Each structure stands twice: as C-alpha cells, then as structure tokens.
Amino acid sequence: MSALPATSREWHLVARPHGWPAAEDFALREAPVSEPAAGRLLVRNLYFSVDPYMRGRMNDVKSYVPPFQLDRPMDGAAVGEVIASGVDGFAVGDHVLHGLGWREIAEVPAEQAVKVDGSLAPLSAYLGVLGMTGLTAYAGLFEVASFKEGDAVFVSGAAGAVGSQVGQLARIKGASRVIGSAGSDDKVKLLTEEYGFDAAFNYKKGPVAEQLAEAAPDGIDVYFDNVGGEHLEAALSSFNVHGRATICGMISLYNSTEPTPAPRNLALVIGKRLRLQGMLVNDHRHLQSQFVQEVAGWIGSGELKYSETLVEGIEHGYEAFVGLLRGENTGKMIVSLTG
C-alpha cells in the first residue's frame, strides 16, 4: 500500500453568517492524516455535495439537523475511494458514499459508508440523480404530493438538481402538463428542449403569478416548492380544488435578515381544500431500493436526463456553495477533487 499523505485540507465554519454567507465566515485549513482506527475507513474524497439545507446549518438554532460547529470541519454527502481500511468487507480501491464531505480525506465509520458502483453510473451521480436529491424528488412527488396520472404539475427551481428530476418524473408517469420556473432564459430552454417540460418561464422577467397563470390556463394540481415566497403565493392562486404542495425548500428566504410575510393569499387553502406538506428526505429511506431501481432504468433508457455543475478544486468550495444559493448551477452543484 502506498504511503498515506501527511495532511488533508478541510473547510471550517469560523463565524455564523448574517444574511448572505461571506468569505470570512469560512476557512480552508490543514489537518493531520493517520491510519484509520478499527472499524473505520480512510477515504480520499473525489466529489462532495453542496446543498441549500447547509445554509440553515450555519445558524446556531435548533432544527431537524444539528448546526455546524464553529472551527470544526463541515460535513455533507461525498463519494470517495478507500485508501486504508480497518474493516472487513471494505478494501483499498472501493468507492463509497458517505457523509463527511467538505474535506480531501475523511476517516469514516464503516457503518456510515455505502459501496457504490462506478460502472453503473458516474460516481458523481450518487450525489445527485441517484443520491439524496434524486430520492427527494421521487419521494416528494409520489409519496408526499400523492401524484397521480393526469395531474398538472408546477415545479419551482426547476433547473436545479431536485426540480429538474421532479418535472421529468411527472412527465414519465403521465402528468397532463408540467410547468417549471427558472432564473435564466438558458435554463428555461433547457427545461423545455432537454427535459421535456410542457412550459417554463423566467421568474425574473415578470410576476410569477401572471406567468404561471399563462403557462397553466387550466390550473395546477401539484406544486413542488423549492423556492417559497412569491412562487408559493402564485401556486396557491393557480391551484385547482384539492391541490397538493410538497414544501421541500424555500431558497428565496434562506438569507433573509428580516421576517418575511406569509403568502398574502393563504386563505385560499380553506376554500380550495389544499394540502401543503413539508418534507425531509430521511423520512422516506424505505423507498431507496424502489427509487434506485426505477430511476436507474429511466436513466439507462434515456427517458430521464440530468445535469451537473462541477466546480474543480477544494479551494473553491465556498464559491460553489454561494453560487448554488445564487442559482448559478444547472442541475446538481458538486465540488470535484479529481483534478
């Protein structure tokens, strides 16, 4: 076995952001590397994920997941190669998915690592289309929103990792109409020409409610919310009776420093008998096998397509994360350490 590197670089949160995260809130630091303890693996990360939920973890508030600790390495989904193993069943050279991203080398408890097969899909796909974001789309549409054939579906943040998959899954399963919103004309074109959305619009070009009403003249039955704010308000107006919304994210509000009003038309929930349900992907792990089997098949057949925005180099981890919050990604935003 080749000698292990002496050090590894890792991103630390050094201050709690107020509003938009700033470069001075983060530090890229070196840490020593040693042989893994019994029951643990040493993994050289090849890719790590940056995700919107991580912004909430930068606040020192009680939530569904503990906040990042100051002056400690941040974490998140990563795929890497085992370079040393203290565990039977894991060998040097194995590729694994685990939760200790934001660093070059991670010492991972074996029970927190899952082998992945790079011959079935690119390794980066296990952070997106076949990973947490993919399962979020699958569970959020089919289990939380109770999608059924013939539903008209509206997706906000539709060019992102979750939204783009939601729209395609709805199309594959027989939606009557799939509408998406995105933040640029290029992304709108991608949604209609590449992903098969029936209609899409650039939310920066006019009121969302007006553009949605034009794109969905017969109303919507399902709304998959990644944005919140004006988009949620527009969806409430366009809902048909007994419409269902999956509230997956509200990225438009994550960096707000002042309280934001609820949608001004929230009373429509009553008369239309709407169901608005929040979701966390960890509540739907029982769907994992079914999800991978179905989605891998659709990828293989070409029915489902996906995009990734790869940012090269650990030193650009902060820029990748802020770029994600600004909507600079198309599909899954991933930091690559393979160069």
Q: 72-100 pLDDT, tens per residue? A: 999 999 999 999 998 999 999 999 999 99
Q: Is the pLDDT of residue 1 over 70?
A: no
Q: Is the pLDDT of residue 258 over 80?
A: no
Q: Is the pLDDT of residue 232 over 60?
A: yes
Give the pLDDT score at 133. 92
What does the domain layout of the chain look like in residue ranges? Answer: 7-128+307-336, 132-282
Q: Is the pLDDT of residue 261 over 90?
A: no
CA distances from residue 262 to 171, 225, 227, 229 in whole angstroms, order as listed: 31, 14, 13, 8
Q: Is the pLDDT of residue 253 over 90?
A: no
User: What percent of the chain is modeled with pLDDT above 90?
Assistant: 88
**Exposed, middle or buried by CB within 10 Å (0-12, 13-18, 19+), for 286?**
exposed
At the top level of CATH, the class of 132-282 is alpha beta
**Residue 62, both tokens:** 């009680």
What is the overall mean pLDDT for the chain?
94
Mean pLDDT lowest among 145-154, 217-226, 288-297? 288-297
Question: How far is it, in rounded angstroms, from Cα 330 to Cα 161?
Answer: 7
Q: Collapsing DSSP states into helix, strand and coil, what is residue 304?
A: coil
Question: How far is it, in rounded angstroms, from Cα 219 to Cα 239?
Answer: 6
Better-scored residue on pLDDT, 218 or 61 = 218
Mean pLDDT lowest among 19-28, 77-86, 254-263? 254-263
Q: Is the pLDDT of residue 61 over 70?
A: yes
Q: Would you place residue 2 in the very low, low, confident or very high pLDDT band (cuts 50, 70, 90)? A: low
At the top level of CATH, the class of 7-128+307-336 is alpha beta
- Which amino acid does the sequence have at 9? R
What beta strand segments (E) does 86-167 contain?
95-98, 105-109, 114-115, 152-155
Give the pLDDT score at 243. 98
How big is the CA angle at 325 (ends 321 and 330), to the nearest 5 degrees?
Answer: 85
Give the pLDDT score at 277. 98
Residue-wise pLDDT for 98-144, tens only, equals 999 999 999 999 999 999 988 888 999 999 999 999 999 999 999 99
- How does strand 40-49 pair with strand 105-109? antiparallel
Give the pLDDT score at 201. 98
